[in-house]
Amino acid sequence: MAAEPKALIEISSEAGRKIGGIYTVIRSKAEYLHKKFGDNYLLIGFLDDKCGEDIKFEEPTGKLRDIFEELEREGVHCRYGTWTYGDNSRIISVDAKAAGERIVEYANGQGMQKDKQSNYFKFLLWKHFGIDSIMEKSWDFTENIVWCLGVGMLLERLFSKGLFAKESTVLQFHEWIAGAAILHCKIKGLGLATVFTTHATVLGRTLASAGVDVYNEAEKAKVPISLNVAYNNRCEGKHQLEVAAAKECIVFTTVSETVAQEVEYILGRKADVITVNGIEFGNGKGDEETHDLSAYARGELQQFVEACFTSYYEMRYDNALFVYISGRYEFTNKGFDIFIDALAKLNSRLKKSKDGNERKVFAFIFAPSSVKGPKISVIKNYLLLDKINEILKEIPETKGKPYVNLQAAMSLLQGEIKLDVGNMAKGFIKDGERPHINCYDISYQNDSIINACVSAGLNNEKSNPVKVIFYPTYMKPNDGLMNLNYYDVIAAMDVGVFPSRYEPFGYTPVEAAVKRDIAITSDMTGFGRFIMKKADKKGCGVKVIRMAGKSSQQASEELSRELERVYKLPAKELEKEKASAYGMMSHLNWDKLVENYYKAYEMALDNNSKVK
């Protein structure tokens, strides 16, 4: 029988640092790991200004303080604290930039050489694992291997000083970004029980961005992909690092059946365990609060879109369908083009029906990009509308009455108050011929999303039933515009759409469903394939678009028909499907899925003891 680990160290650049989907995996799982391992559960993350909102830092004591002081002298700056959103689990954040810049002298096989320590580490990666890392010039490659160097130096001391025992501790590393830390431990001969989890391969993502159907190629392949493909796509260093980490770890895991097939083809090793991503579900935490927040956020959302459009033309906001897409700004991989094309088809059909005049579709695109700041016209209109609405909520003519739009509310007013509110409304400003697609000023020319919307006829003209709002920054309480966090905003939506061409798992549709939105995903995602059989029934709030082997036009047509179907649902049926989406997420409860991680940890400890 395999020994059960008594301690776990989890290493990821997204631990306590919200920059991507792995953050959600680790954060939501932390409660279960913390409960199992207690203070023997430690996270190691990347230290920068993105940690400030998540981690409560404090001064270390005892041996940990001594380790930090020792590492500081070597250019590795560490901070200790607890991760507020990760069940207050212990965390050490590492900044090793100074260590990477230090000049060291080493034998390079042809003599002695003085160079930056970052280049020395690259030399070691080449010498021991054949990683062509000196030629890899991308900033994120060097930044991440230097961070891994610092993490590796920290791990050496955590074990040598007796804070953790090799015989009972498992170390889990996430993604290629943490891969070089595994290799550092290997070079140093630490003999640790390591688990490497890949959520997506570097080369797979690169090929998908170029239009390659990676999953289809992986399914047909008889042998692993050629290294030349990585060189041709200029990602050889990252790819070779990922291959080496997968080869050298004790246990290799991935997050879905889809990625399991991909990694065997791309990385040349079969996954030992599939650790499907889970969620916090059905624990009763904050259900009432969530309902109250979603009602509040819906009102804020309606007010926001009215602020964007009211100075241009009048329409109803109370009965609108709110849909959205969100994700990294990967125009093709994330299916932004398919979403926009589907909206254009929907817009065309609704224009021909009387429904389009009575009920609008507000389609939000959340894709963080480079922005100068919110549009001044939108900010001013939003603040002015908010002030007017505060007045309308208090005067007898409109207090407690259903709100359709500002014009309808003003029609109920009489006398001096009508004149006052009318004068205030004259303060709304226009910034162009029609409402802008983007509510922030973009800091570059020729944005792909804006261009695609305009080309598809989604230009927010009055006759369009489908209105598009591109929100090109991370939503957070201090973003300068809506000032709400992402999860509150999506709780106010009706439908989340995620037609990805490449998505190893895909948390965004899961998050949508948990917030009681209808969730639309594709069969090109790990989540889509996981949930597909369970979702194939009438009235189900999770829909999987068939995209494998289909053209973009076929995919957007199916998506547009699904959106039209949802648009035509009676209000009660819409709410039923939204509730159904939420219920479907019980299949992803961490209560069940965390067992896959425990299996991997026990296997790592057992297999590592045999290696020795």
| Contact of 481 with 552, CB cutoff 8 Å | no
pLDDT in tens, 169-200: 999 999 999 999 999 999 999 999 999 999 99
Q: pLDDT digits over 195-250, tens only?
A: 999 999 999 999 988 888 898 899 899 899 999 999 999 999 999 999 999 999 99
From residue 105, give the alpha-carbon distance in Å to each of 131, 153, 197, 411, 609: 21, 18, 34, 80, 36
Question: pLDDT value at position 286?
Answer: 41
**In degrees to the nearest 10, what's the CA dihedral of 130, 135, 138, 139?**
90
250, 272 in Cβ contact below 8 A? Answer: no
Six token digits for residue 428: 């709304």
Confidence of residue 288 (pLDDT cuts 50, 70, 90): very low
Q: What is the pLDDT of residue 52?
A: 81
Average pLDDT over residues 45-63: 93
User: Within a 10 A sphere around the Cβ of 31, how many other Cβ atoms?
Assistant: 18
Count the Cβ atoms, other than its own, within 10 Å of residue 485. Answer: 17
> Tokens for 139?
């900033």
Task: Tell me the torsion sign for CA atoms 7, 12, 17, 20.
Answer: negative
Q: Which run of H or E residues covers position 169?
A: strand 169-174
Return the beta strands (E) in 397-517 as ranges.
Answer: 440-442, 466-471, 495-497
- Give the end-to-end CA distance of the chain in Å, rounded to a whole number: 18
Q: Where are the domains of the chain?
A: 7-97+139-278+591-611, 287-373+431-588, 376-429
Q: Which two tokens stand for residue 609?
A: 């003891």
Label residue 42 by pLDDT band (50, 70, 90). very high
Average pLDDT over residues 538-555: 91
Q: What is the DSSP letter of 438?
A: B
pLDDT at 285: 47
Cα gap 560→544, rounded to integer Å: 13
Is pLDDT of 291 > 70? no
Asked if 51 and 83 count as a contact pair (C-beta separation under 8 A), the reply is no
pLDDT digits (tens, 9 = 90+) for 490-536: 999 999 999 999 888 888 999 999 999 999 999 999 999 889 877 76
CB atoms within 10 A of CB 506: 28
* DSSP structural state of residue 182: H
Encoded amino acid at 463, one letter: S
Q: At 448, phi and psi to the nearest 5?
A: -65, -40
Classify 363 as helix, strand or coil: strand
Task: Write out the DSSP string of 124-154.
Answer: HHHHHH----SS---HHHHHHHHHHHHHHHH
Distance CA(14)–CA(393), nearest Å, equals 43
**Would you give the DSSP letter of residue 40?**
G
If you average pLDDT over residues 49-70, what whole number do you get? 94
> Are 215 and 524 a contacting pair, CB within 8 Å?
yes
Average pLDDT over residues 378-405: 91
- If you compute the radius of gyration of the chain from its CA atoms, what whole number of angstroms results? 26
The reported pTM is 0.84
Give 115-148 pLDDT, tens digit per residue.
999 999 999 999 999 999 877 767 789 999 999 9
Cβ neighbours of residue 297 closer than 8 Å, sequence gap 6 or more: 484, 488, 489, 491, 492
* Residue 471: φ, ψ to 5°: -110, 90
Write the pLDDT tens digit of every residue in 337-359: 999 999 999 999 999 987 767 89
**Lowest mean pLDDT, pick from 68-72, 125-129, 294-298:** 294-298
Residues in the chain: 612
Burial class (CB in 10 A: 0-12, 13-18, 19+), 454: middle
pLDDT in tens, 405-429: 999 999 999 889 999 999 999 999 9
**CATH class entry, domain 287-373+431-588:** alpha beta
Question: Does residue 219 sit in helix, strand or coil?
Answer: helix
Predicted confidence (pLDDT) at residue 313 exceeds the cutoff of 90: yes
How far is the C-alpha of 466 from the C-alpha of 125, rounded, in Å?
53
- DSSP per-residue letters across 549-590: T--HHHHHHHHHHHHHHHHTS-HHHHHHHHHHHHHHGGGGBH
Among residues 146, 138, 120, 145, the alpha carbon closest in space to that of 236 is found at 138
The dihedrals phi and psi of 453, each to the nearest 5 degrees, come to -65, -45
Topology of domain 7-97+139-278+591-611, per CATH?
Answer: Rossmann fold (3.40.50)
pLDDT of residue 292: 55
Q: Which of 222, 209, 215, 223 is nearest to 258 (CA)?
A: 215
Contact 199, 176 (CB under 8 A): no
Distance CA 527, CA 523 (A): 8
Q: What is the pLDDT of residues 434-481, one digit of tens each?
A: 999 999 999 999 999 999 999 999 999 999 999 999 999 988 888 899
Quickly count: other Cβ atoms within 10 Å of residue 319's Cβ.
10
Mean pLDDT throughout 576-598?
93
The residue whose two tokens read 């940890």 is 601
pLDDT: which is higher, 556 or 108: 556
Percent of the chain at pLDDT > 90 equals: 79
Phi, psi for 85 (deg, rounded to 5) = -90, 0
Q: With cut-offs at 50, 70 and 90, classify the pLDDT of residue 289.
A: very low
State the pairing for strand pair 251-254/273-274. parallel
Counting Cα atoms < 13 Å in the Cβ hemisphere of 365 gives 32
Phi, psi of 198 (to 5 degrees): -105, 130
Three-class secondary structure of residue 448 per DSSP? helix
**Cβ atoms within 10 Å, residue 84:** 15
Same CATH topology for 7-97+139-278+591-611 and 287-373+431-588: the answer is yes
Q: Please provide the average confidence, as pLDDT, over all residues in the chain.
A: 93
Q: Which uninterrupted H or E stretch holds 519?
A: strand 518-522
